[in-house]
């Protein structure tokens, strides 16, 4: 026998009440700011490299996502 569906608001409240209290350690703000600047510079350099590769006629696609391993089949 199927239970009657719970309203979305009630379901949300039930899930919220199950949350455990926790904490996340963050690096100091100065470190976060330095990393943010470095990542912005990397994005800029990557965009320049992709633009230059397209200029010289290379078929350049998006970079593989982190954690994705691309293997070539050997023949």
Model confidence pLDDT, tens digit, residues 13-71: 888 888 888 899 999 999 999 999 999 999 999 999 988 888 887 656 666 565 555 55
Give the Cα separation of 60 and 66 in Å (integer). 17
Give the Cα separation of 29 and 25 in Å (integer). 12
pTM recorded for the entire structure:
0.45
Task: Give me the residue spans of the domains in the chain.
Answer: 26-55
In sequence order, which ranges of the chain are alpha helices (DSSP H)?
A: 8-17, 29-55
Angle subtended at Cα 19 by Cα 13 and Cα 25, rounded to the nearest 5 degrees:
140
């Amino acid at each position: 026998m199927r239970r009657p569906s719970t309203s979305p608001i009630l379901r949300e409240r039930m899930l919220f009440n199950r949350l455990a209290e926790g904490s996340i350690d963050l690096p100091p703000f100065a470190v976060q700011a330095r990393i943010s600047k470095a990542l912005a510079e990397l994005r800029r350099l990557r965009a320049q490299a992709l633009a230059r590769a397209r200029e010289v006629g290379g078929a350049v696609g998006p970079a593989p996502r982190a954690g994705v391993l691309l293997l070539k089949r050997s023949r």
